[in-house]
Amino acid sequence: MSIVRDFRRSALGAAVVAALLAGLAGWLDSDFYLRILFMCGVYYLCAAGTNVLAGYAGQKSLGQAGLFAAGAYTVALLTTSAGWHPALALAAAPVVAALVGVLIALPSLRVKGPSLALVTLAFGIVAQKLVTEWTDMFGGAQGIYGIVPLNALNGEAYTLQHWVWLVIALGLVAHLVLLHLLRGKFGRALLSLQLDEIAASCAGISVYRYKTLAFVIAAALCGLGGALVAQQNQYFNSDFITFHLSVFILLLVLLGGAGTIHGPLVGAIVLTLTDVYLAQWPFAQHFVYGAMLLFALYLMPEGVVGLFRRRKTTGTAMVASTATSTVNAASVNAPVDATGTRPASVDTGALRSALTRDAIDTVAPLLELRDIHKAFGGIVTARGINLVLQAHRIHALIGPNGAGKSTLINIITGVIPASAGTVLLQGRDITTASAHVRAAAGVVRTFQNLRLFGAMTVLENVIVGAHSRIQGTHREADALRNARAVLEFTDLADYAGARAGSLPYGVQRRVELARALASQPLLLLLDEPAAGLNPQETRELGQLVRKIGALGIAVLMVEHDMSLVMEVSDHIVVLDNGTLIAEGGPAAIQADPKVIAAYLGSDELIIEEAAA
């Protein structure tokens, strides 16, 4: 209910602001000030879309002027050459721009950082050259005149006041739609892509799909802004779509506050007024905007909205710190059971519902590898591996450094493809399935080197893990409830609101494990989960792994700590030089001469002491 209540409160606030702006437009009788309001609304639309792409998905684009042009020329050509009704032409403009956005996304998905900026910059330059040189279609530098504007109810063309009301209404609709999207599954997915694409993919998020959607949203809203300008002016040419416009739109987002829902509005207001003021000194515009861009990137990375957020955080830090200390103290003083762990406050039935899927066949293989090979150039890291993992069992994968353990984990989870061989999950061939498809099917993992979404809270990290489960009848509220059950199960409830990247290393390890559990896995792969933990944390990890196994979740654990392996494992697999040399129960592995020779050398006492 709190999610719905928060949305309603935010939507009401947006509606009040829109009503006040509409009232201001009705009161003003100066075309100069009405023009400022109109352009502020247009820039807000452009910034709101670009914020999805740059602020949430982290894809910095310098080609938004080309998308602005796509919408403008669509409405121009449809009304002047094709005879379309201006309202239909306006509705078509964002659709055409969105299709152009897909075309930009295809090459852009393969690159990141500066390379992405160069690809989108090239698109903007090509778009400007195209409309300038293709005189027959776009009118060249002279442009297209006679663009048909919208008509009021009395049949007369819109006045500037009408255009302001229209852009306010469209801005409100766009804001409410984005508010709904970005505060839920969609927004979390985009932020996770920005923070760590590999971790996001292994949490069940399709990297290409969500990046493409971000490009489409940004393109559609920029195209809508261009169409509004073209129809209001009844004229459009290539002078509108310079590189300056692309930088200006990106600056709207960065200065206002990238990745915040209100940042685009703040940026639109500040920069529209700045643009009006600088109009009297056109020679200084490029210098000022370049300086503002550098200022926003390096000195104010969270934008204007971030300044207020930081001040609010500072003001509440003492209260939050005191509350957290109290809760943690209560947790430390809580009674412990015979194993040394504090009992969870969630009953077993609720945990099974939150952490596990429907009952599966415990006789047939859960996961089967057939003749898996992997080579990186001339280096072979997997040689004809055949392996069967059963449901409801804790498996361990051990071997000396360089044996190919992490390679095998990456192949199973789809991070890297096998050079040859077959991977079967419950009898279904998933050899060519991507990481996010395998995660949705129930194969999830943690990483040897932590891959947390450090800027997100612990609770948000865990809900991202449930991404593929939030669909159909499984709603956001269900995911939130299950995420809290996972936090209880992993003794992380006290940290739910803390930023994951600010926590101690051992706690971060548990957060990553909780995120994986939130997906309700069939098979949980742990890549050296005890790395960097102290002895007490390692013991607690072993207890947690046993608790996970007791819920019926199959585990495959890569680990160097032999005492942990022997303590928790039902079945152990040994690799050496990319080859499976032994498998069986802990006792059999301790006595296997191949393991002693290949893994532990000639000193048989090492493994016996570790087991003891």
Judge whether 369 and 420 are in contact, CB under 8 Å: no
**Predicted pLDDT of residue 2:** 62
The domain segmentation of the chain, as residue ranges, is 2-253, 351-611
CATH number of 351-611: 3.40.50.300
Please list the rounded mean pLDDT of every run of 10 residues in the chain (612 residues): 74 92 92 94 96 92 92 95 94 96 84 80 86 86 89 81 96 95 92 93 94 95 96 91 88 89 92 85 76 75 72 39 35 36 45 63 83 89 92 92 90 94 94 94 94 94 91 76 93 94 94 95 94 92 93 92 92 92 90 77 50 53
User: For residue 165, what are the contacts with CB-CB under 8 A and spacing of at least 6?
Assistant: 22, 25, 26
612's tokens: 């003891």
Phi then psi dihedrals of residue 396, to 5 deg: -125, 145
Query: DSSP alpha helices (H): ranges in 518-557?
Result: 535-550
End-to-end alpha-carbon separation of the chain, Å?
A: 52
**Predicted pLDDT of residue 611:** 54
Best CA proximity match to 225, nearest among 77, 75, 122: 75
User: In terms of DSSP bridges, do strands 523-527 and 443-445 run parallel, antiparallel, or are they unpaired?
Assistant: parallel
Residues belonging to the chain: 612
CB atoms within 10 A of CB 419: 14
Judge whether 111 and 92 are in contact, CB under 8 Å: no
**Predicted pLDDT of residue 111:** 77
Q: What is the pTM of this model?
A: 0.86
Q: For 2-253, which CATH class?
A: mainly alpha
Determine the Cα angle at 37 with ends 36 and 41, to 5°.
115
Full DSSP string of 341-357: -PPPSS-HHHHHHHH--
